Structure formats: C-alpha cells, structure tokens
Amino acid sequence: MSSPNPNQRSPYLGFGAQPNQRPSSYYPDNRHSQGYPQGYQHQVQNAIPPGSYAQPHYADAGPIAELPAPMPTAPKTTTPAEQLDEDEKLARQISQMEIEEARSRSNSALTQPPRIKGDTTSGAQYSNQTYQRPHSYSLSTTASLGQEPFLRARPSQTHLSPQISVSSLPEVVPAPVYGTPSPQQLPTAHLPVPPADPVALAAYLEHHRQLPYPPQWVLPPVIAEFYGSFQHHPKSDWLEPLQGYQWHTHRTSDSLHYSSSPAFSTAFKMKGGTFRDPKFQWSMTSKPPSAGKQEKHLPTWTYELKRDSSTGMRKSEILTAPKGRELYPTYVHAINYDSLRFLGLDGKRYQWVSQSPISSLNGSRYDMIRHALFTGNEDPLYGQIVADHAFLDGFADAHGSLPDEALYIRSSSVDVGMIVATLQVLKEWELDFIRKEKRKYPEAFKISESLARQGTLGRMRYWRSADFEGRPPVSKVPILKNAADAPQVVGDALGTLGGDSGSGGDGGGGGGDGGGGGGGGGDGGGGGGGGF
C-alpha cells in the first residue's frame, strides 16, 4: 500500500486549493441573517469554509441569554351596553315569533274534525321502549276524573296551548281493549313485597302459599281456570319423567264437583337411549265441553324431542296440532327470565315468559316463579297476556287442603289446547335445565333440595315416591300423607328459615333425615337425571 503524497491535491477541498489553504469560495453564513437582507458580496466575505463543518467550533463570545418577549396587549372582551340591549331585544322578538307560530298551529289543529277510529298506526309509529317496556305497561290508558289522556306529541308540536282539548288531536294514544288495572285490582295486591333472598322467599312462599304477580303485568279478566294433577312411576322422584298429567276444571279438593275425567290428559313415553338416539314423546288429548260418552276421536296434540345419543344435543323438536299443523317452539334460558317462543296456529307470535330465571341452587326453588303467555304481531312482549300459570295458587281452606297448580285462560280468541301443550313443553325444558344443575353441582343441589323439603309445599313440589306411601292405588290425584299437618309444618319451616344462613343449612340436613323412607326414592331417582 503506497504512502500518501503530501503534494497531491484533494478533490474534496474545492477549487484547486491546497490541503492547508483556505478555499477561495465560501458558503454564506445564515446564522444572523433574517431573509438575507445583505448583498451577495457581503455573504461571500463572511462565509464559512466547508472544511470547518468537520471540525468542532469553539466560540470566543459568551452565550447570549434569550429573554422572553413581552406579552401582547389583550384585546377588550367586554361587550358594550348598547350591543347587550340590542341582543336582548332580538331575543324577545324571536321568542314572540315562536309563540305566535305555536298558537297558529294550535288553532289550525282545533279546526280539524276529530277522528272516529283510533290512529293505531301513529301510536305504533311514535312508541318506544320508554313508553312500553317488555311484558309491562307503565302508562295508564284510561283518563280518570280531572285528568287528560296521555298525549304523544310530534317533534314539531312541542309548544301546545294548555287550553287545547288533547282528546281531539290525532296523537292521542288509543286505549287497548281492556283497561289497565290499578295495583289494588291485581289478585295478589294484598300480599306484602316478597324478599329478594331465595331462602327468605321460600319461607314467604310457605307462609302465603303463593307469590305476588309482577306489578308490570297487565292481567285481563279470567275466563277459564284449570288445575293440574299427575301420576308418577314407582320408585321415582320429581326430576324423572311422569307417567301422566291432567288438567281439571275443578280443584282436587272440591269433592262435589271434581270429576275423574280431565279436560286435558297427557301420557309420556321414552324411547331409545342405548344404541339409538333417545326420544321423549307425549300425547295430549282434550275433551270438548260438548263431547259425550260416544266420542271416540278426541283432539290430540303430540310432541317429540329427539336428542343425539353421544352429545345429548337436540336434533329435532316438533309439536303437532290435532289437524297436522306443526309448531316449532324455541326455549331460551336467559339471565333474567326463561322463555318459550313459537308461532301460533293463528299466525301470531307467542312467548311464554317467567318472572325470574329458574334455578334450584343456593336456596332457590323452581316453584317460586309464575309464567305468562304474551302474544303480539311484532314482538310478543309488547302485546297482551292471554294466559298465566303458577305452581302454587295460594288456595287454603279450613280442611288443610294444599294449593293447586293453576292455569288461567284470559283470552277467548286463543286455542286453549295450544296454551296447555306449549306450557307442558316449557315445563319439561325447565326441568331439563334443573337436571343439568344437579349434574354440574351435585352437593349444592342436594342442600337446596333438602332445604326445600322442610316445608309442606316444598315437599309437595320436590316429592319422592315414598311420600305417597299409604295412599290407595286407585287414587288419581296423589296427596301428601301429612297434608293435614300443613299449618304446623309451615310454622316449623318459618322458624327454621327465619334464622341466619348457617342455621338454615343445618335445618336442611334435618329436613333430609326427616324424609324417612324418601332416601331410597332419592337414590333411585338419581339414575333418572338424564331423562327427557
């Protein structure tokens, strides 16, 4: 490698200068120039050689302190008094114009002839969730003395004169077929407010024998009542499929009018399960009021649920009406209620809804709910109630009779057989959900079941085959053998459940032992948990 030649010119020093010589051309110094006010010759004389960019620069002069510039004078922000007076006059003029415009619109509305029929289209157009919530009706549609009907004004009619008769305006919400009952008109308005705690609610149910209706439910008058009874298989419990279920027009305790021929009778059947997909089937026959003894072909509803044998998932579910019409119900267990949605025989949408989600854990009982059937063209929950159901209807008499499971029909335009059949589908799906709870939380389920069986009504709903020992075999309506001791048992249950949660748990263990021969029935029912 050759040594560098000191006499060789460098091409990067510019304009043929020697390595240690100052170049003849300079770059302009722009450090102190503002827009280059000086000429080009002055810039050339004060330029910095390009070689100095590669060397550090040390200034001899000291740093110059940068002082903040003085703040500019703030402009005046105050408004002159003359301008304020002009703005006030302008605001008054605009307000007066709006008032005159509103009065003119009001006078024109009064001159229009009143409509004979209610404008149901406009009422549906301007309704929203704040006006009518799911399964509720928060506004009174009947005008009381001294009050005006509810007015739903359009956006352009926000300034209406109070002297206007709003009943003549087209925006009046039309009243439904039935009036909205006040809280005093509800059948359970005399009951106190139920507690939120499940254990305390169970004691409430044992004492009052029923739960109050939700205050949001609008109940039309009852036109028909049915009371349920069932037959069970030997050595079974309440979670296993029944042998039969009937709905009667009179109570089981009414010996004068009670008839062994029910209005609706359902027979259950199970198929498959080992090598084939399990099928759960039932058929329900209804006896018309005018049917005589010679009637052979009774209207029959059939139901079939087919599950996958490996996963247990639903493969098909069909509910068939007597004339071959098929319904496809859909059950949903939501966080706030259980529901069964289906399209009815009349083309309307129907939905069974429970007042609270069903559960049998943490002291909850599956009989602490009510069901209501809503119907409507768009959303059933915004329609009216056509039927409702309760596991315990609150019946009590001097003979110590137990309350019945009741079904109330509140509409004459809905097929009663469809109501009964779809209610049976809903109840089976709810029991299926409780079976899943038992398989997932067996210990917690056992504690809740023992706690429920402390009371007479709880033992009636959470029954075991041993509870019916001593009853005649021909009895079609099984009644607990200790039903006559209901007042005493209810008092004991209230005393036990009235304490703290710890004492309630201990009482639940005693209730399980008190079942006597029911232990065998409970063990025998364990294998039936996978039924339905």
- The pLDDT tens digits of the residues spanning 344-386 come to 999 999 999 998 899 989 888 988 899 999 998 888 888 899 9
* 161-174: average pLDDT: 42
What are the residue ranges spanned by the domains of the chain? 196-289+296-530
- Span 31-88, pLDDT tens digits: 444 444 444 444 445 555 555 445 555 555 555 555 566 666 766 667 778 888 888 8
Q: Longest C-alpha distance within the chain, in Å?
A: 139
Beta-bridge partners for 512: none
What does the alpha-carbon distance between residue 331 and residue 282 come to, in Å, rounded to a whole number? 18
Q: What is the pLDDT of residue 125?
A: 40
Q: Which amino acid is at 65?
A: A
Tell me the three state secondary structure of residue 131.
coil
For the question of whether the overall pTM of this predicted structure is more than 0.75, the answer is no
What does the alpha-carbon distance between residue 179 and residue 200 come to, in Å, rounded to a whole number? 34
Decide if 328 contacts 316 (C-beta within 8 A). no
Decide if 236 contacts 521 (C-beta within 8 A). yes
pLDDT category, 138, cuts 50, 70, 90? very low
| Least confident range of 87-96, 253-262, 470-479, 518-527 | 518-527
Average pLDDT, the chain: 69
Q: Which amino acid is at 169?
A: L
Neighbour tally for 235: CB within 10 Å: 15
- Pick the closest to residue 458 from 388, 385, 507 (CA basis): 507
Supply 472's token pair: 């005649």
Predicted confidence (pLDDT) at residue 464 exceeds the cutoff of 70: yes
- Span 85-131, pLDDT tens digits: 888 888 888 888 888 887 777 666 555 554 444 444 444 443 343 33
What does the alpha-carbon distance between residue 407 and residue 222 come to, in Å, rounded to a whole number? 10
Highest mean pLDDT among 20-24, 91-95, 152-156, 221-225: 221-225
What does the alpha-carbon distance between residue 353 and residue 368 come to, in Å, rounded to a whole number? 14
Burial 51-63 (b: 16+ CB within 10 A, else e): eeeeeeeeeeeee
Decide if 266 contacts 279 (C-beta within 8 A). no
What does the alpha-carbon distance between residue 86 and residue 84 come to, in Å, rounded to a whole number? 5
What does the alpha-carbon distance between residue 114 and residue 480 come to, in Å, rounded to a whole number? 63
Decide if 399 contacts 473 (C-beta within 8 A). no
What does the alpha-carbon distance between residue 65 and residue 78 come to, in Å, rounded to a whole number? 38
Highest mean pLDDT among 131-135, 172-176, 385-389: 385-389
**C-alpha Rg value of the chain to the nearest Å:** 42
What does the alpha-carbon distance between residue 15 and residue 11 come to, in Å, rounded to a whole number? 8
Cβ neighbours of residue 108 closer than 8 Å, sequence gap 6 or more: none
What does the alpha-carbon distance between residue 512 and residue 485 come to, in Å, rounded to a whole number? 18
Predicted confidence (pLDDT) at residue 183 exceeds the cutoff of 50: no
- Residue 353 buriedness (CB in 10 A; 0-12 / 13-18 / 19+): buried
What does the alpha-carbon distance between residue 34 and residue 368 come to, in Å, rounded to a whole number? 88
Task: Identify the residue whose tokens are 């827009």.
Answer: 35
